[in-house]
Amino acid sequence: MSTGGGADAAGTTIASLDARLIQVPLTRPWGADVTAVGVIATHVVRSDGAEGWGFSWTPQIGARAVHALLAHDIAAFAVGRTADPSALWADAWRHLHEAGGGGVTTIALAGLDLALWDAGARARGMPVSELLGRRRGSVRAYGSGVNLHYPLDELVAQVRRWVDAGFDAVKVKVGRPDVREDADRLAAVREVLGPDRALMIDANQRWDLAQATGALELLAGYDPAWIEEPLRADDLTGHAELARRLAAGSGIPIALGENLHTAYRFAEFLRAGAAQIVQPNVVRVGGITPFLGIAEIAVTHGATLHPHLLPELSGQLALTLPVASGADTPMAEDVEDAGFGALGALDGPSPVRIADATLTETAHVGLGIRFR
């Protein structure tokens, strides 16, 4: 697997970095206050003339802060330095660390890292997956939705659409004020899915330890394949205790990681036995460079890794990732009506295709992701 981003010209440096903020309206709002996602499109030019395009991403909150970091702090730091993302990333992270070790800083750093990987692959006339070392030609995709606010009939209709589209695994939200309502909703979902399709549930950090313990005792009857973010994302001790309780009872595995921002945090959670499935978001962790490191940590601990959201990007990486012995092959998360291509945000065709619950790449070079 390559770790150099294709910056194979000796002494290649970053000549310029530009960033622009785009608001992409959502066809299906993720809630009353999440009607669009913020994309900060980046463009890098190397000293050898090679160009690359990347992006940072955040739903609704923080996009202007990310743009400011890229346009000022990161651009000023990056120009004149190595164009090899693997060699640059740690120094860039240390430079930004005073503003926070993760979160807005790593989200912003992804804009530079992705553009450099794109430039490296474009310079060689190949997709990033080929540069990294593609291990498989396709990955399974699962249907996903931000649907806790959906009335029951809309939730059931969404699940039927997934079944009709060929998905054999779907994910729905839980965490209603009364867990009995969650149970009623899962009963209706399971009826549509039947016994053989996988059902994953996502609480999006809505419970405390006592609530999660009680809720999962009730919801275990619907055979969830995992429970995602049952507690606050930074509650390491709570997740470790919940994992112990679940292992002694229903056996439901814990999945988390969309709100962990560094390899250090992933390693801490896995060492503590607080999760069996990790879900790094390639943008939130700072780009491809740290994402690859997190994948190696998952292998070391025998954990399954399923990338979070952004199938146009994370689906390409899923084709390249190593898999621990006994772990599942990475799946791509396909949130209904939320892909950049489906939202009309891309200047060109999507670099991936999802059909019959299977993600494959289309012909492209680099990341194949440029925004209108």
Residue pair 228/201 in contact by the 8 Å Cβ criterion: yes
Distance, in Å, from the CA atom of 39 to the CA atom of 129, rounded to the nearest integer, reads: 22
Of 90, 83, 156, the residue nearest 121 (C-alpha): 83
Residues 310, 313, 314, 319, CA torsion sign: positive
Residue pair 346/329 in contact by the 8 Å Cβ criterion: no
Q: What are phi and psi of 90, to 5 degrees?
A: -60, -40
Residue of 171, 173, 306, 364 with catalytic role = 173
Q: Is 308 a catalytic residue?
A: yes
Torsion of CA 181, 182, 188, 191, to 10 degrees: -140
Q: How deeply is 319 buried, as exposed, middle or buried, from its count of CB atoms within 10 A (0-12, 13-18, 19+)?
A: buried
CA atoms within 13 A on the CB side of 250: 22
Largest CA distance in the chain: 63
Residue pair 158/336 in contact by the 8 Å Cβ criterion: yes
Q: Is 43 a catalytic residue?
A: no
282: Cβ–Cβ under 8 A, 6 or more apart, which residues? 110, 114, 288, 291, 307, 310, 313, 314, 317
202: Cβ–Cβ under 8 A, 6 or more apart, which residues? 171, 172, 173, 174, 227, 228, 229
Angle between helices 104-124 and 288-300 (to 10 degrees): 100
Kind and range of the H or E run holding 277? strand 277-278
Distance, in Å, from the CA atom of 103 to the CA atom of 259, rounded to the nearest integer, reads: 8
Token pair for residue 265? 């945090």
Residue of 171, 261, 308, 364 with catalytic role = 308
Residues 113, 116, 118, 124, CA torsion sign: negative
Positions annotated as catalytic residues are 173, 308
